[in-house]
Structure 1
């Protein structure tokens, strides 16, 4: 059995005013080619298919066209909802998409069987059982009560997540037993039936996971990170939410595939990939990263204006002398100015440095320090990028006169108020 593990496509994302449509279109075309070249049995997308709950029409067209193209390859597709996805948006066409070999699990339901999916080999035989667990919204798992401490809420949420995984895993084990018994009977073998692996998914932050600039949302309610040891003993756990490809806690079977394109400048420093996962005799055999090509170059530079001029000329000066390849995109730049940050005409000075270079400056920021800028210590951040809790914590950090007890009481009062607001929204 061979699956392809991907996540965090964020179709429809606009990056500092720039559309990512061309990159996403190129990625989806490349992905179809990989499915065909490696004869993939099933593709699992572990959340954040779209960048927002109301994706633009072109993003929906890309999604629908990809499903139609993938159908021709004979590869099964499973889409899991992420925290950026709208459950209702994903589910609006899932019955139709089921006819095209695509299973969509945008959110959890009352019946655990809805989250157990049999992944089939290309010959139609069962190849694995999937615990299809999407992003778990706290309001779907626990109820908030007045007077609960933050620590109590975290423990309750962690326990609820563990319970949900256990329930789905047990249901998957039951399905596996039935399938293996059927296979043994069909083969008229009284001996040990063909083993089937169990795969689980998740869209959350695990303890020790490396974050990136584009991952700023509150991870799972008030739970900062989920311990990897709390996952059930699945043969492979395909995770989404963190945009850097990585293993979790040194466990080779618990992995984030990462986003296929760089969603922030700090992500552009590393390579992007999808994961080719092979199983043999019901067990994980090999995980092979497939590097994703980069279609939009992005780079960050930091220094004084004089240092920046030297750096830019060293990297891009030769490109000015040579003819640029027709259709080749200009490199998107992030410029951090050190030492000269007092200048009032900083932006025109930077634009003068890149004049005639095959680049486009998307962000210029000044290097700052000191407690006076603690609330906006990073000029890359906007309120839209920060979670409600992060804004509260930044503001609270400016109050030097508060002791730890007062800070804790304010934090608990804020958590209670936020929970009440969320409960009111879910009731509507």
Structure 2
């Protein structure tokens, strides 16, 4: 039997306010082809289906369209909730979807046995079990409230996670003896590499769970939450499939993939790389280098490449900030879009609060005096200083007029 493991879809995700909806649609189309070509019978989605607990109507519509596309392939779908997901929202259509052989476990149910999903073969015999455990919240781990100190609580969380997986293994062992079992989980395993788009989980990742505590009962453990594909050190094959598309610029070099299991050949998964639907570019350098790099870009087709720009200069220069803004505003190359830009300076300007002696209170000073101090710190010629002060006076006058209105 062939089983496919994916996770962290984050439907509804926006990267610097830029929707990744078309990226996900292309992934689902590719995934459908992959399932069909490899004759996959079971699809596992290990948490973080949505990016927000209360997703938009567009995100929900995209979710149901994806499920219907996948269902047409006659593939059983097992989907669990992650820390981004609302258990209530995911579970709402649970009974309806189950009739379509789509199993949703949004949050940990009162009866742990409800997480066990038997997979039958062509002879209608139980061939494999899936222990579909969602993200485990503090309320699910009753031991988490025990202990007086912060360290006690962290240790209680680890033990609670461990006990949940061990109890689930015991149910599988007693109710379905000698049936191979796959566990699904959504958590942070100790040693896993994270990215900037991953929210802290289990008290800021400090309660990192040692994957050796999963035990040795499961044949394979399909994890979600970490977006970078990787193997975890455990007693049995334990993998993060990673997210199918880059969700931040820190993930732009990830080799996004899905994992394919063939139980006839063993429990080591085959990694299938997902094609890149969109390029994320991070361009850094001086203003001059940024201008040069942007001019070298060649027009391209398909989804627009998203660009993050950082201007790096030695000394603060207000004119260069203005020129950077103009560079971004006037940038027009087909197939590219600048979604974020910023400036950084090696020799940082002092903040306004640092320009005065400690005995002076900033609120006692006039705005014009504060700005004059800031201008005096700049390496500008006299004409530029006068222009800056004149511009500030105009702004100040507009503020005063608006207050009188």
TM-score by length of 1: 0.75
User: Is 1:41–2:4 an aligned residue pair?
Assistant: no
Name the counterpart of 2:360.
Answer: none
Offset of 1:271 from its aligned partner? 1.8
Using the TM superposition, give the Cα deviation of residue 343 of structure 1 relative to its aligned residue in structure 2, in angstroms.
Answer: 3.0
Asked whether the 8 Å contact 1:338–1:367 carries over to 2, the reply is: yes
- 1:68–1:100 Cα contact (<8 Å) kept: no
- Unaligned ranges ≥5, structure 2: 351-405
Instruction: Deviation per CA, 1:194-232: give whole Å up to 9, x if none.
Output: xx4211111111111000010132345774311011112
State how 1:204-243 maps to structure 2 within 5 Å: 204-219=187-202, 223-233=206-216, 234-243=218-227
- Would you say 1:263 and 2:263 are equivalent positions? no
| Structure 2 residue 363 is the aligned partner of structure 1 residue 363 | no
Partner of 2:276: 294
**Structure 1 residue 144: deviation in Å?**
6.0
Please show how residues 395-406 of structure 1 align to structure 2 within 5 Å: none
- Whether the aligned pair in 2 keeps the contact of 1:198 and 1:236 (CA below 8 Å) is yes
Superposition RMSD on alpha carbons, in Å? 2.6
Q: Which consecutive segments of 4 or more residues in structure 1 shift more than 6 A?
A: 368-373
Query: Distance in 1 between the 2:180 and 2:232 partners?
Result: 20
Measure, in 2, the Cα distance between the counterparts of 1:372 and 1:3: 57
* 1:337 aligned residue (295, 298, 311): 311
Please point out which of 188, 191, 202 is paired with 2:185: 202
The answer to whether the 8 Å contact 1:8/1:48 transfers is: yes
Alpha-carbon deviation of 1:252?
7.4
Does structure 1 conserve the Cα–Cα contact (< 8 Å) formed by 2:315 and 2:348? Answer: no
- Secondary structure of the corresponding residue to residue 339 of structure 1: strand
Output the CA distance in 2 between the equivalents of 1:18 and 1:167.
43
Contact 2:129 2:181 in 1 (8 A): yes
Change in Cα spacing, 1:275 to 1:304, as seen in structure 2 (3 Å) is same
Under a length normalisation based on structure 2, what TM-score does the superposition of the two structures give?
0.79
* Cα distance per residue 1:321-378 (max 9 Å; x no partner): xxx43xx2321111122225723352642552772334211111334689999xxxxx
Going from structure 1 to structure 2, the CA distance change for 1:347 and 1:275 (only over 3 Å counts) comes to farther
- How far apart, CA to CA, are the structure 1 residues paired with 2:349 and 2:119? 55
Secondary structure of the equivalent of 1:58?
A: helix
Q: Is the 8 A contact 1:262 1:268 kept in 2?
A: yes
Tell me the matched-pair count. Answer: 346
- Asked if the contact 1:305/1:340 (under 8 Å) is kept, the reply is no
> How far apart are 1:143 and its partner, in Å?
5.8
Change over 3 Å in CA distance of 1:303–1:221 after alignment to 2: closer
